[in-house]
């Protein structure tokens, strides 16, 4: 479900530049099946999750822990989300309160509706589908230290549904490449020029403002100046 292994390279796009890192090790977490939703009415974006009614939700487990939150500098969470029922649309604020992908200029506290783009659902065999028991890259995220994620939902059906999520997380132990180090700079250049494989990921049309050097101890990489 998450095709990242030991000694893979990963890249995350931010507003100030890219973060590149080598995966030195990882922990596969058991899938987290979240059925903390109450019944969601037809054609609405309001739902109660974990006892809280609203539009955008911080996704916590039964121990009240944010399943996407990472505390440590040297770890990145790779995550995919399986969706039930298949027609349920899921939206991501990465990081909250910035909408991901093509939500455009709607207010971040606004409720998604039938016309709001930038979602994935649980359908199979579609580029935007992430089925409950086989989550795909349609829902993929790379989440570095202290990045708050919120999810929003829209039920397009003319009847009520009972949402569930199946969150799969691989916690990656990483070493960040430092553009100011000569050897790391050569590796970054090889990644940028396609000579070394790297799973690059961007949160969409809104590369997020993230204090890379303050949080991770390395400067962001400006692609174009690394050759």
- Least-confidence region, from 78-87, 92-101, 111-120, 178-187: 92-101
Q: Which two tokens stand for residue 32?
A: 């987290």
Place of tokens 């399943």: 67
By three-state DSSP, how is residue 105 classified?
Answer: coil
**pLDDT band at 225; cut points 50, 70, 90:** very low
88 close to 121: Cβ distance less than 8 angstroms? yes
66 close to 124: Cβ distance less than 8 angstroms? no
213 close to 16: Cβ distance less than 8 angstroms? no
167 close to 34: Cβ distance less than 8 angstroms? yes
Q: What is the overall mean pLDDT for the chain?
A: 91
Best CA proximity match to 13, nearest among 186, 187, 141: 141
Reply yes or no on whether the pLDDT at 173 is more than 90.
yes
Mean of pLDDT values over 75-88: 98
218 close to 20: Cβ distance less than 8 angstroms? no
Q: Which two tokens stand for residue 4?
A: 């990242």
Domain boundaries of the chain, sorted by first residue? 26-177
Place of tokens 């989300």: 81
Q: Quick one: what percent of the chain has pLDDT higher than 70?
A: 91
Sign of the Cα pseudo-torsion (83, 85, 87, 88, in order): negative
Which pTM does this prediction carry? 0.92
Task: Give the C-alpha separation, 141 to 202, whole Å.
Answer: 8
Place of tokens 């403002």: 209
**pLDDT band at 109; cut points 50, 70, 90:** low
Q: Which two tokens stand for residue 102?
A: 């093509």
Task: Return the bridge partners of 93, or none.
Answer: 99, 150
Q: Quick one: what percent of the chain has pLDDT higher than 90?
A: 80
Q: Which two tokens stand for residue 126?
A: 């579609």
């Amino acid at each position: 479900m998450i095709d990242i292994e030991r000694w893979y390279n990963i890249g995350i796009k931010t507003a100030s530049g890219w973060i590149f890192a080598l995966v030195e090790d990882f922990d596969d977490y058991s899938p987290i099946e979240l059925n903390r939703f109450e019944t969601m009415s037809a054609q609405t974006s309001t739902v109660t999750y974990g006892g809280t009614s609203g539009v955008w939700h911080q996704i916590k487990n039964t121990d009240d822990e944010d399943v996407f939150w990472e505390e440590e500098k040297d770890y990145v969470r790779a995550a995919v989300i399986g969706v039930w029922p298949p027609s349920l649309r899921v939206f991501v604020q990465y990081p909250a309160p910035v909408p991901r992908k093509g939500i455009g200029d709607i207010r971040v506290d606004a409720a998604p509706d039938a016309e709001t783009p930038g979602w994935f659902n649980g359908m199979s065999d579609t580029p935007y589908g992430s089925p409950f028991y086989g989550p795909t890259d349609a829902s993929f995220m790379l989440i570095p230290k202290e990045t708050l994620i919120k999810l929003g939902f829209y039920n397009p059906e003319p009847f009520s549904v009972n949402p569930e999520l199946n969150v799969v997380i691989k916690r990656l132990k990483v070493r960040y490449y430092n553009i100011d180090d000569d050897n790391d700079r050569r590796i970054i250049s090889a990644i940028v020029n396609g000579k070394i494989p790297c799973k690059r990921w961007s949160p969409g049309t809104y590369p997020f403002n993230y204090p890379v050097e303050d949080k991770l101890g390395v400067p962001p990489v400006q692609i174009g100046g690394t050759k």
